Amino acid sequence: MIGILDYGMGNLRSVLKAIEYLGGAGVVTAEAAQLNGCEKLILPGVGSFGAGMRNLRARGLDGYIKRRAAAGTPVLGICLGMQFLLEESEEEGVFAGLGLVKGRVVPFTQGKIPHMGWNGVDNMRGQLFAGIPAGTRFYFVHSYFADTAEEFTLGTTEYYRTFASAVGKDNVFGVQFHPEKSGEAGLQLLRNFMRS
């Protein structure tokens, strides 16, 4: 069972449908009693960092995610959910994140913003990208990106600059793009996470 964390924002149902399409079982919830029975957790996200973190804290999910990650539970953050994994964000002020991956969320300063549409991911590494060729295109919608060290970067993308489009540390993973909206390649990435 995969727990999809419901903090009142995000593309929860599309992620659940993708998991179910792949033959997995999932539950959308904010209740620890239900999440405790889940082997893996997905933190989706659409919206602003500050509002999202406030919602996570209001539901007690910030501490819950940290405890489960520390216990070795695989966690996948998607889009804004990936950004939550970092230490802080500069979106509409400075806000603390979960701090599971070192780095900060910073704005694009060039190009059309938001960065929206299909773009390639290179320098892929790790189980998350097993069977996915370098340069594979995924669907992005974001105005901020992860500024993190190479050791935490699992994939990179070019949009007026090179940025980390996938991050990770141990059992914690994050992707800036939307695998649930990225066709077969996105499904393969979710399949890999389900097998992690």
Question: Active site residue: 38, 115, 142, 180, which one?
Answer: 180
Nearest by Cα to 35 from 24, 43, 23, 47: 43
**In CATH, 2-195 is 3.40.50.880:** yes
* Confidence (pTM): 0.96
Distance CA 187, CA 144 (A): 24
Name 174's Cβ contacts closer than 8 Å, sequence gap at least 6: 76, 77, 78, 81, 82, 83, 85, 101, 146, 166, 167, 168
Place of tokens 């998607």: 78
Compute the distance between CA of residue 34 and CA of residue 140 in angstroms, rounded to an integer. 30
Q: How far apart are CA 46 and CA 88, in angstroms?
A: 17
In order of 45, 124, 136, 195, the CA distances from 98 in angstroms are 14, 24, 29, 24
User: Hey, what are 195's tokens?
Assistant: 């097998």
Tell me whether residue 115 is one of the annotated catalytic residues.
no
User: What are the residues whose beta carbons fall under 8 Å from the beta carbon of 12, sequence distance 6 or more?
Assistant: 4, 6, 28, 44
79, 88, 91, 142: which is the annotated catalytic residue?
79
Q: What does pLDDT average to in each consecutive run of 10 residues of the chain (196 residues)?
A: 92 93 96 95 93 95 97 98 98 96 97 97 97 98 97 98 98 98 97 94
CA distance 47 to 84: 12
Q: Which of 20, 151, 178, 184 is catalytic?
A: 178
**13 membership: H or E segment, kind and range:** helix 12-21
CA distance 73 to 185: 24
Residue 1 in tokens = 């069972």
Confirm whether 38 is a catalytic residue: no
